[in-house]
Every structure is written in structure tokens, then in C-alpha cells.
Chains A and B, each alone.
Chain A
Amino acid sequence: MATSPQAKAIMATGAPEMPTRAPRSLWSDAIRRLRKNVAAVFSIGVILFFIVIALFAPLIAPYSPITQTKNNSLRQPTWVQSDNPGLNGSPEHLLGTDALGRDIFSQLIYGSRVSLIVGFIPQVIVLLIGVPLGLISGYAGGRVDNLLMRFTDIIIAFPDILFVITLTTALRETFLGQAFNGLLLIFTALSIVGWTGITRLVRGQVLSLKEKEFIESARAVGVPTSQILFRHILPNTLAPIIVSVAFGIPGAIIAEAFLTFVGTGMRPSTDINAPFPTSWGAMLLDGYSNLSSGPWYLLFPVLCVGLLTMAFTFLGDGLRDALDPRGE
């Protein structure tokens, strides 16, 4: 007698298999909710767009961002006609040229590299410092917690931007200040002031999590402390950490643009092979000084900084809603 596979399944388990929804974790649920959020999806698109541009900058940019051309300075964008034929937009330079005759469009493309890397790397360092400190502080409690939190308070008490400007100015001529056009120094400075938020966040989470029964039950199973911290507690704190990082990135992007604008940030390069020849912050500075010649030089970097930071902020917003199960 032929038996259908379904019948076999029924015989095996003694009951018909109920149609169940696919196993879902916190993460798959969150991704599902995130995909419903139009602003967040659009933001991811924008971010990916900038990432692709940054990665393939040499292929996309029509010119080298630092090659100067004589008698070609301060050209307006292609579509702008001016009374002065020398400043007329030309088809060769889509967004015009700056005071030194460098192609603005190419500069923007290369500038995205700095903004993205300055958004990501300090956040990674901040995570590497902040998460372990928060875990230790929250879990150990008592004197250790007190010591770490007072140290955190000291860092928080220092005005962020002032500290960063002081550090970047003081170390400008050292090796640290020179490496990667000064980017390494910016990473360091932003990380030193940036880890406190994450530490406090993680500590707070751990404080409440360590009282939960499932942690007690893990200890009752004989799980070593490190494993409790990293396998049982850390995954429970990931959602707020992710949201915090998503909001931290635009902060860092703006900080770099600001620092470079006031002249203590990254230094534009004259090396033709430099991976980070210029940044949007440097373009802001240039554009500001040439403002009398036209608004374009300031407008384009401002638009780019605005678009990228807004994308990250909307993404952070979307992630916060998506990772909060009560949102549904």
C-alpha cells in the first residue's frame, strides 16, 4: 500500500503537522519591521550609494581631485551661464571648479571616503572600548563599577569639541597628526570622547539583565562568568548598541566636517596617490572663503554632508523602532 509523505509524517508524530509560521528570531522580526519603514529603506539606499561611490572613486571621478588647471578656476556648474565668460559653466566640469581649478565633482566623490570612514572607524573603536567597560562595570558592580563610572564621569565632564580641538591642534605636527592626512588623529580624538555613552548604555542594560532569572539559571548550570557576559548578556544588549551606533555615525561625520572647517581636522593632500585627498569639511572651508564668487562651492558639500547624516539618522530611527518589539 502506498503511503503519501504526509500520511507518514502524521503517523510519525501522531498528529498532523500544524501549519506554523517560520521560526523567527528577534533579528528576523526586526528586519521585517525595518523593511516596512520607507524612510529607513531609502536611507539604506543612500548610504549604500555613497559607499559604492567611495569605494570606486577613482573609476567614477572624471578628474583627479587635486589636479590644478590654469585659467580654469572658479568655474560655475555646467548649467550656469554668467556674465563673465571665464566663469561660465563648461561641459567638462559638471559642478564647476574651485579657486585652484580643481574639479568639484571629483572632490565630492573623493570626499565621501573621508566622511564614511570617519563615521565608521571611531564607532568601531568606541564599541571596542565602551562595550567591555560597560559589561565589566555593570556585572562586577561595587567598587569596580564605582571606579569605572567616576572615570566615565570625568571624561563626560570635559567639553567634547573643546577637547578634540585641543588634542588635534596640539598633536598636529606629530606622527599621529600626519598619518593619513590627519585622519588617524581625528579617529583617536573622537574615540577618546566618544566611548562614554556606550559604556553607560551597556552598563545600564547589564544592571537590569544580571538580575534576570535566565542569568541566574545560566549560573546554576555552571556557565563561567566570561561566557555569561558574552553569550548570555551581550546579545540582549545588542539592540540598543546598534541604535546608538547608527546615531553615533552622523555625529562623527559632522564632527569631522566641523574640525576640518575650523582648520584642525584632516589636511587636504597634494599627493596624487593619497587615498583620502580631500574631505567635505575641507571643501566647506574652501567654499566658504570663495562664497563671494558663488554659492556653489559651499552648497555641494553641504548637501552631501546633510544627505549622508540624515540617511544615518533616519536609519537609526528606523532601527530603534524595528528593534523595539513593543512597536508593533
Chain B
Amino acid sequence: MTRLSSPDAPTEAPDQAADETEEAPAVDELRDGVVARLAELLGDGLVEHHVAAGQDMWIRVTSDAWAVTAETLRNVLGARYFCFLSAIDWKPSPFGRYLDAEVDTIVHGATAKEPEPQQTGVTGGEARFQVLARVANVRDHWGITIKADATPDDAPRVPTWTRVYAGADWHEREAWEMFGITFEGHPHLRHIYLPSEFEGYPLRKDFPLISRMVKPWPGIVDVEPMPTVDEPEGDTPPAAENAPDGGDPE
């Protein structure tokens, strides 16, 4: 099972490991070995790591060590399969999602909420933008998710991976146009999905959807508010609302 950057993964993974002792040993020699080897090769470049025994592993490296990590993983540790490279904007959205958004609260009559504190998922992080990538060693059957903070927040930049993994080219172009993260050394950072004259970085949390600013979602106005369910006390299972997999990481 692959869990990517979900903050509930660390708490959940040990439980699962305990439940499935046959399939998922509490000590994962393979993954612990890979992480130990990485720590040895990268030195201070490796900031944090997390191993879900028998399942998966995550590391966070400094942005300076981002390119070196790729080289190490591919050329030394044999992770020759490049799965993907992407980015996350961890900023709590000022526009909210659905009920949190001001334009929507007007319609719903709810009160605007305070933005949640910033969280950065597995292996943590300080910056607003993080790049993440996943590579795998298909011979030894392990995969690893690598994260790095892209700093500074107003002009995030990290080194390119294209010299190590040629396939990272388009992924970096997409991350660049969607999040505005500059990949230093990329041969031609230009738009890949968006029209070439597009301005702004649409997957940033503070990218406004102008249509929504002008006119709230028209579909909601002719819908009656959902009736509130009056259930007897104690009948509702408390886990239903806070199911670890139900919510979004933010």
C-alpha cells in the first residue's frame, strides 16, 4: 500500500503492522537498510525519515541535497524506476474549500472559519511548498517517496532531476506551471498543459477562481438545505465523522 504525504499515515501504519504480523514484520530489514544506507550517503542532507514496516518509506532531504538524492537513489541504490515528481502547497486556503469559502458561506449561512494551521504531513517540513517524488527499485521491490522543502516561499526553487531521470522533465514542467516552483538547471521550463500566455500558478492555494468570485456556485441556490438528522444520543458511532481515511490531509 502506498500512502503519500498523509498526516495520519504515521499513526496508522504501526497499528496495521501490529495487526498483520505475518505479512508486515515490525522490523523491516529491507527498508531500514535502505534508509540507513541513504543516511550514510547523504549525511546532513537527510533530514527526516519514516518507515512503515513492510509497506513503504518516506524521507525528507534538504533542498540542496535534492539532486544528489536522486543520483544516489538511482546510481547507488538502484532505484531506476521514476514514478512521478510533483509538489504540494501546504498553505491553508484563504478561499477555503466549499463551506469554508466566503462566497459559499454567504449562500449556506454558515460562519467563516479561521484557516487551519499549516501541516506538512509525513516527515514534516517547514516551507509552504514541498516537492515530492517517488522512485522505485523494481528488482529489490521497494519504493521510496522523497520530499524536500522548496524555499523561499515567494520564489521556491529546487535543483532539477532531469539529468538523473530524463522522465522528470515533463513532471517538472507541470510542477513549475502549476505551483511556480523553479527547477534550477531544467533545460526548458515552459508551459506544458496551460496555454503559453497563461499567467499565475493555478494549483497554488491562493490562486483565485475568478468565476467563483464573480458568482457563487449557481447550483446551490435552488437546493434546499439538507434536513438535520435528529438521531438519538449514543447511536452514532463516533468514528464515522473522524474516519482517518475520510478526510483530506488539510
Q: Do A and B come from one complex?
A: no
Q: Which residues of A approach B to under 8 Å, CB–CB?
A: none
